[in-house]
Amino acid sequence: MTLWWWLLGLAVAGCAISLYFTLIYFERVAARGVPTVFCRREEQACVTILRTPYARLLGVPNALLGVGFYLLAGTAALLALAGRLPEWLWLLTLGLAAASVLLAPYLIWALVARLKSWCGL
């Protein structure tokens, strides 16, 4: 039961961060709004990275895909807490989480090797 609360909390946090970077991508939030803890403002490295092809999967911004994933994970957690989580939803959430974990090393490689940049995220 406690694990579902953790999943729900992480989904809310992940959704908030993804939504923030989605808003930056679509220029609804000023680029200077990126906190310095995440990105050095004078270089605008994170904002520049959001404009590269690596920041999109099939034309959809990665941050927007993150919003969708975290909404799915939060829904799964809420349904589990209510005792109504269908197995297919849990397997879908688990599969998407595994795919994102497997994609992460490639994106880190692209960031460092191809883009020659290092974003604090």
B/e letters for 17-39, b = 16+ CB within 10 Å, e = fewer, are: bbbbbbebbeeeeeeeebeeeeb
pLDDT score, position 79 = 96
Q: How confident is the model at residue 50 (pLDDT cuts 50, 70, 90)?
A: confident
pLDDT score, position 108 = 82
**What pTM value is reported for the model?**
0.82
pLDDT at 42 exceeding the cut of 60: no
Residue 118 C-beta-side C-alpha neighbours within 13 Å? 1
Cβ atoms of 61 and 22 within 8 Å: the answer is yes
Mean pLDDT, to the nearest integer, of 89-104?
93
pLDDT score, position 51 = 81
pLDDT score, position 24 = 85
